[in-house]
Amino acid sequence: MTASDATTVQEKKQNEEELNPFRIAQRQLDDAAKLMGLEPSVHEYLREPQRLITVRIPVRMDDGTTKTFTGFRCQYNDARGPTKGGLRFHPEETVDTVKALAAWMTWKTSVVDIPLGGGKGGVICNPKEMSQGELERLSRGWVRAVHQVVGPEKDVPAPDVYTTPQVMAWMMDELSVIRGYNVPGFITGKPVPLGGSKGRGDATARGGMFVLREAAKTKGIDLAKATVAIQGYGNAGYYAAKLVTELFGSKVVAVSDSSGGIFKDSGLDAEAVSAFKSKNGTVVGFEGSKKITNEELLELDVDVLIPAGIENAITGDNAGNLKCRILLELANGPTTPDADDILYKNGVFVLPDFLANAGGVTVSYFEQVQNAYNFYWELDEIHRQLDKKMTEAFAAVHKTAADHDTHMRMAAYVVAVRRVAEAVKLRGIVA
């Protein structure tokens, strides 16, 4: 190996480390701990998850063979209440991703001040290549593997990437069979007939809209005249496009998916683009639009940019090229710490993921509450309570940002970590 080859390998390793989601989560915590003067013993405790479970799940496939899948559940911190967090079925799921998302969920439940901790789970599989029967057997197998450490009082899963309300229904049923009685509060994101909550489908995006509304007020931005670009056109991206138009009258000029993006200066109709994607598998090619790349979408001159797709979309390499005034993070971990510093210096108002996309877990909490006392709220009550929670969370984070003269992500960490640290110390977990 030549010296230049060795340098290239080293640079690659450094880049991989910089984009490792759990290393990013730890770095963000470290920065907040330093700013707020967090006690070293508490800081050390909060840098790693309380519990990380790896399970092996044998599944009988349709062809008669048995395939064994690897699954994870990370229960990051339960000082404020039972852990809560999604479950992913993904071929590239990793332990570090699960740990990072569990950490961010800990801060997310704390920043919106709901009495839950943070958890996350995943199974390494490709659901696109599996039949419904295979997915059901995998879902039930995961529950059998973890049933002793989950439940309404311990850890409550929810849908995430490639898991659906139907998957949640199978899982709820499996735990109910094991326990011998119905346990609807074990899992959220269920179909409404099985104890799911109204308003869960668009909760992540709707919560983000409430945060965006408050942010626009502070920046003097008229959302009725604002232009919006959305990277990622899954559930959160679609509902963001729909709601930002319906609630505020904003104009969505660009959206994208994994195949690329589209731009239309006169604006895109969310429903029409969604119907086109359902038929064609991508937004690319939508009538009257211009094809652009995901990278080009991020750098459009718009008022509001909404990353709603993948992690690490905005890095130190491209952050300086962003021209938006507000960055609303509906995806988990779309911005790296290096990018945060650049965006702050350039005056981009970043609404961090675990504040901006906390609407989903908030309505999931409402679902838990409704399951617990077997009484279910109407949709307008869900929206009213969600608005209240998100508005209060924004106000707390914005005030903290001003008090510490820092950006919103750091302020959100300070608010969230302070609450978790307080619970840890009050319980005597760390002296």
- Chain centroid offset of residue 141 CA: 25
**Which spans in 301-358 are helix H?**
337-345, 353-356
Q: Which of 84, 99, 108, 120 is catalytic?
A: 120
Range of the structural domain that residue 105 is part of: 51-186
Same-domain status, 315 and 420: yes
Using the 3D structure, point to which of 127, 151, 186 is the last residue of a domain: 186
* Statement to judge: residues 167 and 64 lie in one domain: yes
Residue by residue, pLDDT tens for the chain (431 residues) are 454 454 454 444 445 446 798 998 999 999 999 999 999 999 999 999 999 999 999 999 999 999 999 999 999 999 999 999 999 999 999 999 999 999 999 999 999 999 999 999 999 999 999 999 999 999 999 999 999 999 999 999 999 889 999 999 999 999 999 999 999 999 999 999 999 999 999 999 999 999 999 999 999 999 999 999 999 999 999 999 999 999 999 999 999 998 999 999 999 999 999 999 999 999 999 999 999 999 999 999 999 999 998 778 999 999 999 999 999 999 988 999 899 999 999 999 999 999 999 999 999 999 999 999 999 999 999 999 999 999 999 999 999 999 999 999 999 999 999 999 999 999 999 97
Judgement on whether residues 180 and 229 belong to the same structural domain of the protein:
no
- The span from the CA of 417 to the CA of 414, in Å, is 5
120 catalytic residue (yes or no): yes
296 in a structural domain: yes
Helix residue ranges per DSSP H, 376-407: 379-404
What is the DSSP track for 71-115?
EEEEEEE-SSSSEEEEEEEETT--HHHHHHHHHHHHHHHHHTT-S
> Could you tell me the strand order of the sheet in which 227-231 lies?
290-292, 260-263, 251-257, 227-231, 304-307, 326-328, 349-351
Mark whether 56 and 99 lie in a shared domain.
yes
* Whether 165 and 236 share a structural domain: no
Specify the number of domains making up the chain. 2
One domain, residues 140 and 212: no
Q: Residues 167, 240: one domain?
A: no
Give the Cβ contact number of residue 173 at 10 Å: 20
